Amino acid sequence: MITKITRRTAMGAFVAAGLSVGLSFPAISADMTFTLATSGSETDQRSVAMAEVFAPAVASFADYKPGYNGSMFAQGTELDAISRGNLTMSIASAQELAQFFPEFSIFATGYVHQDAAHQVRVFNDPLMDPFKKKVEDELGVKLLSVMYLGRRHVNLRFSRDEKDVQTPADLAGVNLRMPGTDAWQFLGSALGASPTPMAFTEVYTALASGAVDGQDNPLPTVVDAKFYEVTKQIALTSHLVDLNYIAFSKETWDGLTADQQLTVQKAADAAAAYGRLKQLDKENNLADFIRSNGVEIYTPDLNAFRTHVQAQYVGSEFAASWPEGVLEKINALGN
């Protein structure tokens, strides 16, 4: 009877005995388990990328155990869980990191990132090194890769006849659900709305009941979370080309062999690239499906939104935390 030994040991024993490693034998537990907590659904492209690309790539030495819809840790608590050694991975946001390190708000600022490729150039640029180092040294979290979440737009319960959104002034008094952290709430205010903090998993019910007037997420999320069932319009504000980071426990990372570290890094990059392409494809092809479900989609006065939102950040507490010259470097990496 094979006792509970690691897969690597068992494989080594078979190979040493000159037996084909293709022999089937009882499942043997891997050396370790990578847990991942996300408030995203199982069908969200970032979750799919982690399950279908990352997990198989590390399977030779680690099992993968995801917790979707905030079931493992509530949205916004994942980084603390990693830091305390209770979680391996999360799909983290710059807004959540800004709760620990305010300077991360630069990556969560409206109308800064221009598109998915710009996000990748910024994440891979040396300008990111001090940010990454601080998160590793002070939080015990390693940011492996940048994931593309998409262009966030204003999505309202009201029909366009009830509330036509052309400029930020049209959002005055609109109770707009935004995620709970300060940087998110600031963005909601910068759009001209009255932001309400709320966990992602509560948004559908809040829209259906009228507890909030709207929310902001990219088109793929509007479809995946079925927000089109409880809203009537999307004003394509593109106010944030949003991203997440594949966040990994530094303690776990430091316990890996060099080969395992290389495998984990390559697996994260491959998953991020796969998810980015799938999300971009969905983003470019979902408008008609959403319209077919009775949701009006239109482009507001983007110049009015961009000018107003950017003006709110000038002189803000967030801008005060940005390291000198970083915004200029980010802009220089744009198109």
Residues of this chain that interact with ligand KDO (CB under 6 A) are 38-40, 44, 75, 91, 93, 179, 200, 217, 221, 244
**Cα–Cα dist 153/284, whole Å:** 14
Cβ proximity to ligand KDO: between 93 and 119 the closer is: 93
CB of residue 109 vs ligand KDO: minimum separation in angstroms?
14
Q: Which residue has the tokens 């309400």?
A: 196
Contact 93, 108 (CB under 8 A): yes
User: What are the distances in angstroms from CA 288 to CA 223, 230, 292?
Assistant: 11, 17, 6
Please, what is the minimum distance in Å from the beta carbon of residue 209 to ligand KDO?
18
Nearer to ligand KDO, 181 or 260 (CB): 181
Contact 240, 202 (CB under 8 A): no
From CA 97, how far away is CA 91, in angstroms rounded? 11
Closest CB to ligand KDO among 263 and 275? 275
Are residues 244 and 108 in contact, defined by beta-carbon separation less than 8 angstroms? Answer: no
User: In the complex, what is the shortest distance from the CB of residue 73 to ligand KDO, in angstroms, rounded to a whole number?
Assistant: 12
Cβ closer to ligand KDO: 59 or 128? 128
Minimal distance in Å, beta carbon 91 to ligand KDO? 5
d(CA 167, CA 156): 14
Q: Residue 193: what residue type? A: A
Backbone angles phi, psi at 76, to 5 degrees: 95, -10
Cβ proximity to ligand KDO, 88 vs 244, nearer residue: 244
Best CA proximity match to 236, nearest among 188, 325, 281, 297:
297
Q: How far apart are CB 241 and ligand KDO at their closest, in Å?
A: 13
Is there a contact between 168 and 256 (Cβ–Cβ < 8 Å)?
no
Nearer to ligand KDO, 61 or 64 (CB): 64
Report the nearest approach of ligand KDO to the CB of residue 260 (Å).
26
Is-contact 207 214, C-beta < 8 A?
yes
Nearer to ligand KDO by C-beta: 7 or 113? 113
Give the integer Cα–Cα distance in Å for 276 and 270: 10
What is the smallest separation between the CB atom of 45 and ligand KDO, expressed in angstroms?
10
Can you tell me the distance from the alpha carbon of 116 to that of 111, in angstroms, rounded to the nearest whole number? 13
CA distance 73 to 148: 22
Of 75 and 263, nearer to ligand KDO (C-beta) is 75
Closest distance of CB 180 from ligand KDO, Å: 8
